[in-house]
């Protein structure tokens, strides 16, 4: 990545778009504090991620950040509800189970709480992942190609769910996608190619087409 | 630290089956080690108890004078059983004959260990008793009855007292072997000694104080008493006291330790492998936990708790299972074990627990600790390699744990370092060879059919993992081969020590005119006699023109300094002459004379005698024999196996050298127990000859050796089970990768035969390579072990080079195929989903 200068405001929804290998996933993992840049500074809610060690970054992630991944990333040895309980349990929250149950009901999986990931369909797994992402009461949610492994119809429903919940919780949403229809639903689109951000005005035509 | 979460995760892992393999290998490892140590401990105790019968006690203080009564009080305080014996030489008289005898007076509790056998008739197996004769009675060694021309119920005189000969003494436990006993035994009651008035100030007496009891009390007693003993007294146990047996016991103990050690190493390898697999499967978990805000320290404490809880569970469950298994083995084997096994002590249980935890710490902890450094970005970037589990820390802990445990088990740095450095060198050299073998396999595979091509290409592609796996397989097979080879060498050595028909009686002091008639008498009674040796008493009086006494004095100072207690040159000894080198003797310097040699007198010396007196080939020795001098030259030095219960001589002269000196003769023969009454006829006809019976001691040695042999076989069996466990764990560890690969092949339409075939070939080739490596490693290590630790003569093992590869191929082929059979039975989609 070169010459990145980017600011995302609270409660904003931002799409990062670009071709495969353009660097959009790398950008996401840097902003989310999953990875560190070789130079430059990254701030998350006024806290400088680049000055922290892994221990401190993990704390920040636990307090402020939620994730939804393309490959769902549920723990195979845990049931649906246990996966959703995990973020609260890491914070020793005594209400973990109650909150998790509520979120699973919210994503429409109250009848599959005791199922293991391998017993769930792809769409169901992603709904569990979304429930887990909101379970951490995060200020900012990062989603990496959340529909990449799903068929169009299921994907559309997942995106609806994601945006509904996002509105409800008032979360900041940063989402990596190559689907321009999804990008169009965001407040803002950032186009990446060869590790650099394209000028934002170049996006206007495509976003108007989608709209 | 988030303790409840750790417990929850542990529980959830367990429920979903993630933990099963790690936990199973931990439990099995700990229980194998516990079983082996418990079993070895009980066998060892039993062997010691059995061997203690050679001393009639666990500890003996031998002394020329009565010892300080404070020592006996200390023994009472420690609740040790006690008995005393007093030995002296005396003439004993029957109505019309007299004999020189070795009288032993014993107290009421003699013997503390072992038993006596007495009989109404001489040389006849009788009843077993555990006490000495009553006051007023004596028991006589069989050969005294015919030589005194009496039978049980007659009387004899010792000194001024008269005793009833109530029994013939057939066997006493602490008689000792060899020919050092100067006369036939008369056993009497200690309370009768004053009546004889034989024991006077200045008499040559030898007191023995016998002690028996608990090991700890005995050790405390020995440590306490040793510094308080005066000159001329010494304390000793079985190992020091019974030469020949002590040696066998020592080696057996080393073998059992070696077995225990190898068991621990194998268990450690099994644990390391399954921990590594567990860690590999948890990298993704950790990455996800990290994205959810788990910190590296949090991860550490999380898995530390998991580790500790698992460790506690596994070690305790393993110890309990080990205890039960060992009880089962013992009760199964009890009918075959000729000795009563004492109850297990608490020490092996602790040993098992500690071993379990050390194994966990050094083999399972390192891979788990690597989890902390998993990069969270892994959840997005699937192309990131799994963090490399092996690091300085994990090697360090592994080495520390292995060496520590080895040292602890063996109590012996030589054995530890030898095995360990052998292992390290083997691993380095063998990994190079293994890689080479894999490469060559690929070249061959290119010309082969599709099953072979697939299998060999698979082996080649995962070259590093497979090199690793060949090493682990090879190491496991190597350890088993080592144990097997050392066992065989030990048992062969013991069995050759005493052949089945070895002579068990010696006839000495045969006058020249009796030689022929005695030989005829033996032959008429179907007793086959051995060569007849002349025996002439004599001693060395001058060495290279220096008086032997002066030379002894001069050399004795340096002898004392290096603790040399070898035979002295100036003592009076039995000399013999022979044309041919006796069996079991080996010339180590100089040459043996030709069979028809008739020239100037030559002499061949025993090695210890020569070394401790600085005598060498070419030295001029002058012997004084029956008041006359004989000049000789040393022409050879021989080694003699003193354990073989054959007539052995320190000094042998060339034939003809002694022909002018009158001599008596000796011979040996084999007699079965039921034919022993024949000795009555022999001794009544030739009362001047002496018969020494070594059949009892030979039988005793054989019993011990067969017990030790059995113990060794049993331990070998247990270790084999450990070895199989390692192989299984190692195959399991590579399972995910193989499953995935073959499931993909099946989705591509590969038939069951092709998949199965390539799996079989893959494992057989791995096994073959591992077997070749194992043979190389085993040959080298066995050489070092046999020479350095067991002090055996090394012989090459050609069978090994066949055994290793065959065992490897068959064993790995079968276990591997059986373990991966699931892959062809399960639909590929399920396989792929499970390992994704």
Question: Beta strands A140-144 and A172-176: pairing type?
Answer: parallel
Question: Which residues are CB-neighbours of B75 under 8 A, at least 6 positions away?
Answer: B82, B211, B221
Chain B, nearest residue to A30 by Cα? B377
CB of B78 within 8 A of CB of B217? yes
Inform me whether the C-beta atom of residue A54 falls under 8 Å from chain B C-beta atoms: yes
Average pLDDT over residues A28-39: 87
Q: Kindly write down the DSSP assignment for every residue of B231-267, as one continuous string.
A: TTEEEE-HHHHSTTHHHHHHHHHHHHHHHHHHHHHHH
How many angstroms separate the CA atoms of B693 and B836, rounded?
77
pLDDT in tens, A151-191: 888 888 889 999 999 999 899 999 998 888 889 999 999 99
pLDDT class of B179 with cuts at 50, 70, 90? very low
Instruction: Give the sign of the dihedral formed by CA A56, CA A62, CA A64, CA A70.
Output: positive
Number of neighbouring beta carbons within 10 Å of residue A62: 21
Classify B447 as helix, strand or coil. Answer: coil
Strands of B581-619 (E only): list them: 585-590, 602-606
Nearest to A58 among B18, B294, B380 (CB): B294
Inform me whether the C-beta atom of residue B1 falls under 8 Å from chain A C-beta atoms: no
Interface test with B, best of A77, A94, A100, A133 (most B CBs within 10 A): A77
Residue B336, pLDDT score: 59
Determine phi and psi for B510, rounding to 5 degrees.
-85, 125
**SS3 letters for B10-28?**
HHHHHHCCCCHHHHHHHHH
How many angstroms separate the CA atoms of B565 and B608, rounded?
10
- Write down the ipTM of this complex: 0.82
Q: At what angle do helices B828-835 and B735-747 cross, to 10 degrees?
A: 140
CB of B609 within 8 A of CB of B615? yes
CB of B108 within 8 A of CB of B192? no
How many angstroms separate the CA atoms of A88 and A94, rounded?
8
H helical segments located in B78-202: 144-148, 193-196
Round to the nearest angstrom and report the end-to-end CA distance of chain A: 30
Inform me whether the C-beta atom of residue A144 falls under 8 Å from chain B C-beta atoms: yes
CB of B217 within 8 A of CB of B225? no
Classify B229 as helix, strand or coil. Answer: coil
Inform me whether the C-beta atom of residue A41 falls under 8 Å from chain B C-beta atoms: no
Give CA B823 to chain center in angstroms: 45
Interface contact flag, B5 A90, Cβ < 8 Å: yes
Instruction: Give the sign of the dihedral formed by CA B365, CA B367, CA B371, CA B373.
Output: positive
Distances in whole angstroms, Cα of residue A153 to Cα of each of A123, A125, A158, A174, B553: 10, 15, 9, 22, 109
pLDDT in tens, B312-333: 888 888 888 888 877 877 776 6
Residue B427, pLDDT score: 74
- What does the block give as tokens for B698? 């030979």
Q: Of the given ranges (B204-218, B505-519, B605-619, B748-762), which has the lowest mean pLDDT?
A: B748-762
Residue B714 has pLDDT above 80, yes or no: no
Inform me whether the C-beta atom of residue B835 falls under 8 Å from chain A C-beta atoms: no
Distances in whole angstroms, Cα of residue A191 to Cα of each of A39, A66, B381, B423: 21, 23, 20, 58
Entry pTM: 0.64
Residue A191's H or E segment, with its range, is strand A188-193
Residue B131, pLDDT score: 92
- Quote the DSSP letter at residue B303: H
Inform me whether the C-beta atom of residue A40 falls under 8 Å from chain B C-beta atoms: no
Interface contact flag, A67 B293, Cβ < 8 Å: no
Interface contact flag, A73 B288, Cβ < 8 Å: yes
B-chain residues near A75 (CB < 8 A): 285, 288
CB of B744 within 8 A of CB of B836? no
Residue A202, pLDDT score: 42
**What proportion of chain B, given as a percentage, has pLDDT over 70?**
83
pLDDT in tens, B795-824: 777 888 888 889 888 888 888 888 777 666
Helices and strands (DSSP H and E) totals, chain B: 25, 22
How many angstroms separate the CA atoms of B146 and B149, rounded?
5
What does the angle CA A142 – CA A146 – CA A151 come to, to the nearest 5 degrees?
A: 170
pLDDT in tens, B395-448: 777 788 878 877 877 667 877 787 777 777 777 877 787 777 777 765 655 555
Tell me which of B653 and B693 has the higher pLDDT: B653
Question: Beta strands A65-68 and A140-144: pairing type?
Answer: parallel
Q: Of the given ranges (A59-63, B328-332, B657-661), which has the lowest mean pLDDT?
A: B328-332
Residue B644 has pLDDT above 70, yes or no: no
Q: What is the largest CA-CA distance in chain B?
A: 110
- Mean per-residue pLDDT of chain B: 79
B-chain residues near A70 (CB < 8 A): 380
Residue B221, pLDDT score: 93
Exposure on the CB side of residue B342, measured as CA atoms within 13 A = 16
Classify B140 as helix, strand or coil. Answer: strand
Tell me which of A126 and B265 has the higher pLDDT: A126
Please provide the size of chain A in residues.
211
Strands of A172-176's sheet in order across: A65-68, A140-144, A172-176, A13-17, A188-193, A196-197
Nearest to B288 among A75, A82, A91 (CB): A75
CB of A27 within 8 A of CB of A192? yes
Classify B623 as helix, strand or coil. Answer: strand
Phi-psi region of B548 (alpha: psi -120 to 50; beta: other; left: phi over 0): alpha
CB of B612 within 8 A of CB of B606? no
Average pLDDT over residues B343-362: 76
Inform me whether the C-beta atom of residue B698 falls under 8 Å from chain A C-beta atoms: no
Residue B163, pLDDT score: 95
Phi-psi region of A18 (alpha: psi -120 to 50; beta: other; left: phi over 0): left
Distances in whole angstroms, Cα of residue B393 to Cα of each of A55, B265, B273, B286, B398: 21, 18, 16, 20, 8
How many angstroms separate the CA atoms of B569 and B589, rounded?
18
How many angstroms separate the CA atoms of B481 and B464, rounded?
25
Number of neighbouring beta carbons within 10 Å of residue A76: 16
Interface test with B, best of A53, A78, A120 (most B CBs within 10 A): A78
Instruction: Give the sign of the dihedral formed by CA B493, CA B645, CA B666, CA B167.
Output: negative
Residue from B436, B410, B565 nearest B40 by CA:
B410
Chain A, nearest residue to B300 by Cα? A55
Average pLDDT over residues B660-678: 83
How many angstroms separate the CA atoms of B310 and B317, rounded?
10
B-chain residues near A58 (CB < 8 A): 290, 293-296, 298, 376
Tell me which of B104 and B533 has the higher pLDDT: B104
Residue B188, pLDDT score: 95
Interface test with A, best of B282, B292, B301 (most A CBs within 10 A): B292
Nearest chain A CA: its distance from B12 CA (Å): 6
pLDDT class of B79 with cuts at 50, 70, 90? very high
């Amino acid at each position: 990545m070169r010459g990145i200068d980017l600011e995302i405001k609270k409660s904003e929804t931002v799409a990062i778009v670009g071709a495969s290998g353009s660097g959009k996933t790398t950008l996401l993992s840097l902003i989310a504090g999953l990875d560190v840049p070789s130079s430059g500074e990254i701030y998350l809610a006024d806290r400088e991620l680049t000055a922290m060690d892994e221990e401190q970054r993990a704390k920040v992630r636990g307090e402020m950040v939620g994730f939804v991944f393309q490959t769902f990333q549920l723990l195979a040895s845990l049931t649906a509800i246990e996966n959703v309980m995990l973020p609260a349990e890491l914070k020793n929250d005594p209400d973990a189970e109650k909150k998790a149950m509520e979120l699973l009901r919210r994503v429409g999986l109250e009848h599959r709480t005791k199922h293991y990931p391998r017993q769930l369909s792809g769409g169901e797994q992603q709904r569990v992942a979304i429930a887990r992402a909101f379970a951490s009461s995060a200020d900012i949610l990062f989603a990496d190609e959340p529909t990449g492994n799903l068929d169009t119809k299921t994907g559309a429903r997942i995106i609806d769910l994601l945006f509904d919940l996002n509105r409800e919780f008032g979360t900041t949403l940063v989402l990596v996608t190559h689907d321009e229809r999804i990008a169009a639903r965001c407040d803002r689109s950032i186009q990446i190619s060869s590790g650099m951000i394209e000028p934002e005005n170049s996006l206007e035509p495509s976003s108007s087409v989608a709209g | 630290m988030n303790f409840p979460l750790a417990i929850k995760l542990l529980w959830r892992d367990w429920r979903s089956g993630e933990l099963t393999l790690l936990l199973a290998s931990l439990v099995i490892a700990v229980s194998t080690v516990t079983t082996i140590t418990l079993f070895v401990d009980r066998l060892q105790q039993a062997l010691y108890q059995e061997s203690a019968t050679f001393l009639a006690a666990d500890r003996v203080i031998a002394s020329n004078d009565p010892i300080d009564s404070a020592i006996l009080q200390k023994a009472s305080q420690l609740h040790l059983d006690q008995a005393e014996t007093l030995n002296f030489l005396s003439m004993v008289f029957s109505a019309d004959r007299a004999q020189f005898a070795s009288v032993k007076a014993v107290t009421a509790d003699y013997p503390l260990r072992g038993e006596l056998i007495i009989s109404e008739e001489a040389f006849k197996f009788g009843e077993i008793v555990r006490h000495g004769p009553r006051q007023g009675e004596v028991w006589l060694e069989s050969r005294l009855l015919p030589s005194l021309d009496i039978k049980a119920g007659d009387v004899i005189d010792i000194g001024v007292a008269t005793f009833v000969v109530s029994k013939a003494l057939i066997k006493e436990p602490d008689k000792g072997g060899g020919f050092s006993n100067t006369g036939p035994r008369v056993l009497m009651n200690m309370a009768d000694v004053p009546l004889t008035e034989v024991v006077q100030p200045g008499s040559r007496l030898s007191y023995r104080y016998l002690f028996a009891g608990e090991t700890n009390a005995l050790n405390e007693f020995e440590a306490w008493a040793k510094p308080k003993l005066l000159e001329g007294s010494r304390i000793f146990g079985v190992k020091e006291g019974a030469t020949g047996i002590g040696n066998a016991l020592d080696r057996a103990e080393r073998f059992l330790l070696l077995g225990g050690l190898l068991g621990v190493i194998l268990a450690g390898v099994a644990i390391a492998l399954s921990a590594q697999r567990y860690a590999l499967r948890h990298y993704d978990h950790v990455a996800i936990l990290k994205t959810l805000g788990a910190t590296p320290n949090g991860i550490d404490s999380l898995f530390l708790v998991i580790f500790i809880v698992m460790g506690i569970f596994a070690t305790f469950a393993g110890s309990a299972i080990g205890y039960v298994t060992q009880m089962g083995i013992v009760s199964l084997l009890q009918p075959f074990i000729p000795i009563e096994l004492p109850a297990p002590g608490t020490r092996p249980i602790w040993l098992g627990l500690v071993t379990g935890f050390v194994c966990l710490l050094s083999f399972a902890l390192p891979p788990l600790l690597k989890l902390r450094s998993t990069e969270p970005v892994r959840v997005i970037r699937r192309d990131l390699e799994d963090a490399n589990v092996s690091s300085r820390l994990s090697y360090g802990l592994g080495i520390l744990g292995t060496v520590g445990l080895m040292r602890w088990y063996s109590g012996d740095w030589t054995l530890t370092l030898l095995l360990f450095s052998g292992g390290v060198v083997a691993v380095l050299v063998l990994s190079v060879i293994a890689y080479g073998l894999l490469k060559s396999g690929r070249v061959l595979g290119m010309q082969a059919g599709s099953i072979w091509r697939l299998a060999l290409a698979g082996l080649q592609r995962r070259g590093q993992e497979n090199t690793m796996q060949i090493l682990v397989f090879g190491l496991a097979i190597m350890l088993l081969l080592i144990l097997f080879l050392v066992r065989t060498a030990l048992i062969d050595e013991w069995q050759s020590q005493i052949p089945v028909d070895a002579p068990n009686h010696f006839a000495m002091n045969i006058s020249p005119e009796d030689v022929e008639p005695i030989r005829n008498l033996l032959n008429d009674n179907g007793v086959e006699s051995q060569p007849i040796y002349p025996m002439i008493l004599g001693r060395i009086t001058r060495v290279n023109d220096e008086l032997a006494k002066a030379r002894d004095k001069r050399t004795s100072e340096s002898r004392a300094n290096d603790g040399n207690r070898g035979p002295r040159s100036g003592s009076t000894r039995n000399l013999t002459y022979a044309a041919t080198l006796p069996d079991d003797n080996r010339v180590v310097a100089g040459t043996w004379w030709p069979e028809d040699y008739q020239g100037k007198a030559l002499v061949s010396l025993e090695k210890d005698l020569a070394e401790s007196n600085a005598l060498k080939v070419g030295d001029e020795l002058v012997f004084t024999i029956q008041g006359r001098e004989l000049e000789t030259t040393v022409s050879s030095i021989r080694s003699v196996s003193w354990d073989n219960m054959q007539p052995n001589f320190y000094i042998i002269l060339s034939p003809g050298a002694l022909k002018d000196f009158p001599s008596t003769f000796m011979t040996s023969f084999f007699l079965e127990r039921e034919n022993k009454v024949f000795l009555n006829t022999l001794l009544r006809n030739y009362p001047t000859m002496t018969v020494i019976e070594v059949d009892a001691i030979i039988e005793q040695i054989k019993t011990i050796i067969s017990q030790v042999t059995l113990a060794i076989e049993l331990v070998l069996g247990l270790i084999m089970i450990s070895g199989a466990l390692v192989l299984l764990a190692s195959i399991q560890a590579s399972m995910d990768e193989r499953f995935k690969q073959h499931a993909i092949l099946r989705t591509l339409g590969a038939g069951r035969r092709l998949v199965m075939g390539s799996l079989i070939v893959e494992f057989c080739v791995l096994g073959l390579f591992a077997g070749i490596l194992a043979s190389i490693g085993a040959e080298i290590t066995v050489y070092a072990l046999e020479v350095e630790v067991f002090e055996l003569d090394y012989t090459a093992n050609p069978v090994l080079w066949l055994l290793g590869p065959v065992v490897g191929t068959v064993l790995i082929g079968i276990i591997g195929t059986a373990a991966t059979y699931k892959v062809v039975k399960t639909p590929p989609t399920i396989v792929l989903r499970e390992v994704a």
